[in-house]
Structure 1
Amino acid sequence: MPSYAPAITALTARPLALWKQLRDDLVWIAREHPDAVLASSLAAEDMVVFHAMSIYAPELQTLTLDTGRLHAETVQMAAAIRQHYQREILFFRPEPERVQAHVQQHGAHAFYESVELRKQCCQIRKVEPLRRALAGRSAWITGQRREQSASRSELARQEYDAVFGLQKFNPLTEWTHEDVWAVIRGLGIPYNPLHDQGYPSIGCEPCTRAIRPGEDVRAGRWWWEQRDSLECGLHAGNLHSSVNT
């Protein structure tokens, strides 16, 4: 076992049961889909999955999308976890020509002007790079949870992703915010320091703010928009089951 292997005796009953289920899920995924990849934003949920993968399914790879607009803390987090785990992370970036053309036509902060322009920016900086990252793979893994938003309330643990054309696994579907942090604290999992500054959900720096008391965990994402538009296209299938669409 690596030096960061969990002292799972530190976990109480529910987090321990969830951790064991995550372990079993990842072992099964690695056996059935050895080319599966974790798409990580380097936020808390993804760090839980990454930590478990590093121990129980180290053959699986992890990718992250460097949009060119990440917080400095997120960029530093990527370097820190590579050193801590001695594992490489695959970085995928947008095509510079498409970014430049969009900025020249609409401006550097056009995403504030309309949902359509914001989604165009997400398409260029996130969706298209993810499409390249998933090309030729049979499955991908996410850290999504049902509790995070209305558009994720019917999230399945396993589903066919028709947008990208492969299987999709969401092993933290039933985890609560408290479950995530119980495991992080109990197992000493590294996490993005932005979480201590009021950012439960972390995306691009211009599009993410700290949340206020009583707000839902994704209220800081694209906060200037209506609450039913808070997906970027990476998980477009979530919107199919949303009561708001």
Structure 2
Amino acid sequence: MSTNLFDVETLAAEYASKSPQDILKLATQHFDDLWLSFSGADDIVVLDMAWKINPDIKVFTLDTGRLHPETYRFLEEVRKHYGIQLEVLSPDQQALEAYVKEKGLFDFYESGHGECCGIRKIAPLRRKLAGVDAWITGQRRDQSPGTRSNVPVVEIDGAFSSQDKSLIKFNPLANYSSEDVWNYIRMLEIPYNSLHERGFFSIGCEPCTRPVLPNQHEREGRWWWEEATQKECGLHAGNLIAKN
């Protein structure tokens, strides 16, 4: 259907307390050009739920070129386990080579992660989302009190919409806690990234991700050298605006 005919505000209120499965059914019933973003971390839960509703769900992932070996192996395990075609998005090679040539492989420790994430993650995602009507994420409110505490279950994506078309974004796990996620994984015995067994909760690129200690918030393992309340790479840039 046309995104302009999709009443986001009304449906966000109506589905605010509904199950992830109900939100996914809403998404699949209204949009044919619908894609699920899978990072290779605990968003395996939303992929499993979506696949059980529609085995032909379209899934993409971002290969930044700096992921852990365990994440690459997990992506392949997921592809085979669900029998899905996993579209892998890569950075523009010329832009990446120019950035690395000028600033090296670890500039983000000194200058912040914004430019590196912009080239390796945001630009490929923008190219992908420019041609779709709606996408599904695994965002949860409890992942980051500073930037995700107000994530709605469905919204207009302010970061990736264009003047001509509003991009619809579904966050079915918005109300889920980390405990809910891991109860689902354990009860249904679905695959998960082996890095979780080594204390990694929030998994991103290898140089920018580390295990967290007991009683640390999971997002403290990402970009730990930067200001604690801004733990976003730009994929969900609207979160930073919404919190102000």
What amino acid is the match of 1:72? Answer: P
The aligned residue for residue 97 of structure 2 is 100
| Offset, 1:133 | 1.5
The aligned residue for residue 32 of structure 1 is 30
The aligned residue for residue 71 of structure 1 is 68
The aligned residue for residue 237 of structure 2 is 236
The aligned residue for residue 168 of structure 1 is 169
The answer as to 2:40 corresponding to 1:42 is: yes
The aligned residue for residue 120 of structure 2 is 125
1:25-52: per-residue Cα shift (whole Å, max 9, x none)? 21221110121111111111x1011111
Q: Secondary structure at the match of 1:91?
A: strand
Q: Secondary structure at the match of 2:220?
A: coil
The aligned residue for residue 16 of structure 1 is none
Alignment partners' CA distance in 2, 1:198 and 1:189: 19
Give the structure-2-normalised TM-score. 0.88
Q: Are the counterparts in 2 of residues 64 and 89 from structure 1 also a CA contact under 8 Å?
A: yes
Structure 1 unpaired stretches of 5+: 1-19
Alignment partners' CA distance in 1, 2:235 and 2:141: 16
Alignment partners' CA distance in 2, 1:21 and 1:148: 18
5 Å-filtered alignment, 1:121-200, equals 121-149=116-144, 150-165=146-161, 166-200=167-201
Q: Secondary structure at the match of 2:168?
A: strand
CA-based RMSD of the aligned residues comes to: 1.1
Q: Are the counterparts in 2 of residues 35 and 60 from structure 1 also a CA contact under 8 Å?
A: no
| Offset, 1:58 | 2.2
| Offset, 1:229 | 2.3
Q: Are the counterparts in 2 of residues 211 and 217 from structure 1 also a CA contact under 8 Å?
A: yes
Alignment partners' CA distance in 1, 2:136 and 2:171: 6
Alignment partners' CA distance in 2, 1:50 and 1:57: 10
Q: Relative to total residues, which structure has the larger helix share, 1 or 2?
A: 1
Q: Are the counterparts in 2 of residues 144 and 170 from structure 1 also a CA contact under 8 Å?
A: yes
| Offset, 1:119 | 0.3
1:151-170: per-residue Cα shift (whole Å, max 9, x none)? 10111111101211101110
1:131-167: per-residue Cα shift (whole Å, max 9, x none)? 1111221111100000111210111111101211101
| Offset, 1:214 | 1.4
Alignment partners' CA distance in 1, 2:239 and 2:135: 15
Alignment partners' CA distance in 2, 1:95 and 1:141: 24
Identity over aligned pairs, percent: 48
Give the structure-1-normalised TM-score. 0.88
Aligned residues, how many? 221
Q: Are the counterparts in 1 of residues 35 and 59 from structure 2 also a CA contact under 8 Å?
A: yes
Alignment partners' CA distance in 1, 2:60 and 2:202: 18
